[in-house]
Amino acid sequence: MANLTITVDDETLKRARIRALERGESVNAYLADQLRKYAEDDGEDERQQRTVTRLLELSKTISGTSGGREWSREDLYDDRRIS
């Protein structure tokens, strides 16, 4: 296993150590886990966010309307009913 040295200000490290103690973990274990996730990230989160953004943009451009018609359950499934 390799060692990694990072530089961080004293106050940040102090707060991180306190938070790690509260969570029952070490700062080292937390950083190793985050680094592992970062290295394994295949961009799925970013792709999902772009997809949601595109869908929302598309929904703003569509001005579908029912023309004031109210649909009943029977209307929607009329073609599926067995006579």
pLDDT band at residue 19, thresholds of 50, 70 and 90? very high
Task: Measure the CA–CA gap between 80 and 77, rounded to whole angstroms.
Answer: 5
What pLDDT digit, counting tens, does each position of 23-79 carry? Answer: 999 999 999 999 998 888 777 888 899 999 999 999 888 877 777 788 888 888 877
Instruction: Please check the confidence at residue 7 and state whether its pLDDT lies above 90.
Output: yes
Task: Measure the CA–CA gap between 10 and 20, rounded to whole angstroms.
Answer: 15
**pLDDT (average), residues 3-7:** 93
pTM: 0.50
Task: Measure the CA–CA gap between 26 and 78, rounded to whole angstroms.
Answer: 62
Q: What is the pLDDT of residue 83?
A: 60
Task: Measure the CA–CA gap between 81 and 83, rounded to whole angstroms.
Answer: 6
Task: Measure the CA–CA gap between 61 and 63, rounded to whole angstroms.
Answer: 6
